Structures are given as C-alpha cells and as structure tokens.
Amino acid sequence: MSASEQGGPGGAGPRSRRLNEAARRLFPGGVSSPVRAFKSVGGEPPVVRSARGPWLFDVDGHRYVDLIGAWGPMILGHGHPAVVAAVTRRVRRSVATGTPSPDEPRLAAKIVKAVPSVERLRFVCSGTEACMSALRLARAATGRDVVVKFEGCYHGHGDAFLSSAGSGALTFDAPDSPGVPPAVVGATVTVPYNDLAAVERAFATHAGRIAAVFVEPIVGNMGFVEPEPGFLPGLRRACDAHGALLVFDEVMTGFRVHRGGAQALYGVRPDLTTLGKVIGGGFPVGAYGGRSDLMAMVAPEGKVYQAGTLAGQPVGMTAGLTTLREVLAPGVFERAAAATEALASGLERALRTAGVEAVAPRRGAMMGLWFSARAPRNLAEAKATRADRFRAFHRAMLTAGVYLPPSPFEAWFVSTTHDDAVVRHVVDAAAAWARTGPA
C-alpha cells in the first residue's frame, strides 16, 4: 500500500472537505443521517467514492478498512460478484412496478426458513418502518397501548420510541426529541437493559395495559452489549404471564449474529420480529413478521393498516435474496464470524499488551470495542467507559486507514472479505496507537 493510499490525516482530505462544506449548506449537519457527521469523535468524515470487498475509497485517494459495513448490511463485503450480477440483471428488467414481483416470496421464504419465530411477514422500506408497524400490530392484537423498551436500545425514529425513561418503571417517559408530543410517549416505559426486576415492576405498575416489550436481543445501538444469561428467557416468561407480546428487534442482529438471528442463538421465540439491514443487501428493505395469527391481522387480510408504495421493491428483493443465498451457503457465515473472532481477540491482545484496558465482545459477524476492564451490561455502564480514549483511537485509526464507527456507542461490522491481511492491518494499527497514543 503506497502512502497516498493510506488514510488521510485524521480523515477528510481537501476534496472531502470541499464536498462536506457544500453538504453542510444543503443538509442539516452536512449529512443524511446523524452519526455519519463525526460529531462525537470530531473532525470531518471522508467522502467515500467507491467500495470493494473490505475497502472504502474516498475522493482524496485514501483507502480504509471498512468496519461499518453500511451499518450492518454488507456482510458479504462491497461489490460481491453474485449480488452485483443479480441486481444488474434485475435493473435491466424493471426497477419498480408496484405489483407483486418474483423475488419477493423467494426472499420471504428464505427468511421464514431461517428465523425460527417468523411464520409470515410484510416487507417495508426501513427498520424504522418495521418497528413502527410492529408496534401498531402489537397494540391492535392486545387491545392495549403501553410499550416497554430498554435504555440504549434503538428501534428507529418512530415517535413512540423517541423517549427517555421517566422515574424507573413507575412513570411514563418524556420525549427525547423536540417535536415528539408528550402524549405520544405517554404510553412508553423505558427500563435498564438486563434488568428483569425493572420489567416486573413495569408489569406490576401498568397491570393489564402493556401491549409489548421491544428489545434488541443483542444491543448494537449503545455499542455492543449482550444479554445476560436468563434475560431473554425472563422477558419471554414475563410477557406470557402478563399477556403481552415479545418483540425482538433484529434489524441489526438478523443474519448477523447467527444465521437465524439472536432468537436462534439464544433459543428464545418472540411473537414478532423486525428485520432490516442484511435482508436488503444494502438496499432500503425492512420487514416485520412472526406468528401467523398476528400477521393475519395486517391489511388487506386484516384491519391493521400498513402500506408502502415501494415496499417489496424488486431490486432490493433481488439484492436481499442473493445476499441471503450467499450468507446461508455452507461455510460463508462461518468465514465472517471467524474474521470477527480474529479481529476482536487480536485487538484485545494488542491493546492489553500495551497496558490499555480494553474488551471486544463479539457474536457472529458483529462486535464492539470498549475501553474498560469488562464489557458493559447496560447504558449506564456503557457511558462509564472511556469515551475520551475512543475519540483518540478513532482518529489514529482513520489516519492509519481504518474506518471505524465514529462513536464509541456503535457496533462494528465485519464481512466475509475481511481476510487475515486486513485483520492484521487493523490490529497492527491499534497496537501502534496503544504503544504511543493513549494519554
């Protein structure tokens, strides 16, 4: 790799900076989605022109190892030949027709076969839409209005989920964003992750009113946080005892932590599941699904209204179908998981050897890195890790040609194309920083 191909000094070179300046005039924060803006690590994002395999190439001629993977979808790396060929063929046939198309039931059948609790489903265009729709269905199915969720979990930007905890499980939430009416989150209760007692208190306080418990079965949105043994089975039991639905938000974990998602990994069967990211292979595809009797309530079979002009968009269906075919083929998921294991254990070793406290929890092809002695179990513990250290680390890694999520509270995504040499490049860069960088 020549010097000009390495990462830029702390990120954006002159061309990226020019484009970012124009973007800041046109878009709030210069971006189409907030975390891309580098607000929590400082500096400016390189503007990415193209991507191939595990690499991102920016407009200034730098290349980076990609550990964002488009925030989850690109488990096969960028430009996978089978996906590119299938999508190209599909585009030549038609882009969108607003009619049923052939790959729609094929992709759905693959999902139903792989994800244990999903018997039927509905395609939508994003994870946000999937979660909003699943909540509507859960409320309709139970005839109740309250939703319980967990601090640090993200279920898209639907109003009902944009709240922060009132006082524990006892009161309803307050809006977390201007523009969300208090009434809309007045039926949302947020409790700490991995805290079954808080869930029980919520059920006791709001007896007969809780429609659903929404959970990321492994959290990727406060950094990578795993459920403690017993947490997910405990949620299942609590929901059953109180007549509420259990909803696994597997938008991030689906086909990422295990072929059948976190529910297959932990053997817990939710009533409804939301999906996105990997199932669209990089196109805007989401889905919600689950028990047949529940899905039968969705229009036009049932009365719960939900629709989408571009839902089941043919190009996204083909991209998703081809991606899942590859991911589910023998040995492929294992390759991404092995690369993740090598990267996570390599980073732990490199950082600790240099005396930097670090832990890199991982499952399947998803991982995190915490500058702390042990992995956090909830948002409070996540916030107590060394975020300042992550900022310095992020900048050094970008300069060394490694594109990490620009926040300590985001998961990392590895692909089948992250081979030994790529993993070594990342681990060596971390080791070099650990020897000289951390204050």
Ligand X SMILES: *Cc1c(COP(=O)(O)O)cnc(C)c1O
- CB of residue 304 to ligand X, shortest distance in Å: 20
β strands within 205-329, DSSP E: 210-215, 245-249, 272-275, 286-290
- The rounded distance, in Å, linking the Cα atoms of 201 and 122 is 33
Instruction: Classify 24 as helix, strand or coil.
Output: helix
Residue with tokens 């996204």: 316
- CB of residue 352 to ligand X, shortest distance in Å: 29
Q: Which residues contact 221 (CB under 8 A, 6 or more apart)?
A: 152, 153, 154, 252, 409, 410, 411
Identity of the residue, 214 or 333, whose beta carbon is nearer to ligand X in the bound complex: 214
What are the Cα distances from residue 192, in Å, to 129, 235, 268, 338, 379? 24, 13, 20, 31, 7
Identity of the residue, 262 or 339, whose beta carbon is nearer to ligand X in the bound complex: 262
- CB of residue 274 to ligand X, shortest distance in Å: 7
113 is catalytic: no
154 is catalytic: yes
- The residue at minimum Cβ distance from ligand X is 127
176 is catalytic: no
Phi, psi of 285 (to 5 degrees): -130, 130
Among residues 60, 149, 193, 277, which one is catalytic?
A: 277
CB 86 within 8 A of CB 425: no
**Amino acid residing at 67:** L
The encoded tokens of residue 214 equal 């929404």
Identity of the residue, 7 or 72, whose beta carbon is nearer to ligand X in the bound complex: 72
Q: Which of 159, 157, 164 is nearest to 179 (CA)?
A: 159
Identity of the residue, 20 or 221, whose beta carbon is nearer to ligand X in the bound complex: 221
Q: Which residues contact 33 (CB under 8 A, 6 or more apart)?
A: none
CB 410 within 8 A of CB 394: no
**Amino acid residing at 7:** G
- CB of residue 135 to ligand X, shortest distance in Å: 12
Residue with tokens 């689906």: 254
Among residues 154, 266, 288, 403, which one is catalytic?
A: 154
- CB of residue 127 to ligand X, shortest distance in Å: 2
The encoded tokens of residue 413 equal 């995504």
Identity of the residue, 16 or 126, whose beta carbon is nearer to ligand X in the bound complex: 126
- CB of residue 420 to ligand X, shortest distance in Å: 29
For the beta carbon of residue 331, count every other beta carbon within 10 angstroms: 8
Contacts to ligand X by CB under 6 A: 126-128, 131, 154-156, 216, 220-221, 249, 251-252, 276, 286
What are the Cα distances from residue 399, in Å, to 57, 249, 391, 418? 14, 35, 13, 19
Residues facing 213 on adjacent strands: 148, 246
- CB of residue 133 to ligand X, shortest distance in Å: 12
Let me know the angle formed at the C-alpha of 175 by 181 and 27, rounded to the nearest 5 degrees: 85
Among residues 249, 266, 271, 288, which one is catalytic?
A: 249
CB 188 within 8 A of CB 149: yes
- The rounded distance, in Å, linking the Cα atoms of 31 and 46 is 12
- CB of residue 157 to ligand X, shortest distance in Å: 7
Phi, psi of 52 (to 5 degrees): -150, 130
Active-site residue set: 154, 249, 277
